[in-house]
Amino acid sequence: RCGRFRLLERVGAGGMGEIFLAEEDGTGRRVAVKRLLQEAARDPVFIAMFMDEARLVDRMRHINVCETYEHDHEGDHYFIAMEYIDGVSLHELLITRGKDGLPFPLAARIIAEVASGLDYAHRLPDENGLPLGIVHRDVSPANIMIGRNGRVKLVDFGLAKARTQLVKTQPGLVKGRFGYLAPEQLAGHVDWRTDLFALGLCFYEALNGRQLFDQSTAAETVKAIRSFRGPP
């Protein structure tokens, strides 16, 4: 259990957290619960990073951003309860399509909805009206969810950068998936345009059925990104 949520099934894991399908007491509502891994829960830095994410996503209310209901902890169990999206990721959808990609209108619709959610996050102010300076930093097909109801949601702000963070990224440390990094990101320059570059790569992949940067090693991928010249 995590608070009033009964964990039903472990559906994923990555980084410092694991994701469960859960049910809320009283209402029976299905939710997704992200829980900090036990080994990470013993490290104050990981706890602070997890709580940074929790506070950040708790402020967001947009139709194209996964909604958060609650964040709390019981003993060593730190968790975030959020909207459960019954559907597939863009990554999973493209796997089923093979090398065909998606029809242009469908790909454009998906990317446009993600762009709307990103625009909201990028412009989100704090309680004083000052911009929070949110950058997702991990826009990729795996973090774009498409519900069976047709709704598109951007998920996982675990690597997000914001002005209010307690834990700052160390100089020279690059966060994000190598295949979706902007050239400037490799040099440590990150702002909202970083997310738009990554979203453009997602659009390319959705249309062509393959990644633009899909080299066999991380070193080769970095080299390809540094010498990036956009295809027609």
Residue length of the chain: 232
Three-state secondary-structure class, residue 8? strand
* CB contact set of 142 (below 8 Å; sequence gap of 6+): 89, 90, 91, 177
Q: Of the residues 52, 119, 138, 191, which is catalytic? A: 138
Q: Is 138 a catalytic residue?
A: yes
Question: At which residue do the structure tokens 């209010």 appear?
Answer: 164
* CB contact set of 59 (below 8 Å; sequence gap of 6+): 124, 132
**Distance between CA atoms of residues 79 and 50, nearest Å:** 9
> Which tokens hold the place of 153?
């949601």
Cite the active site residues: 138
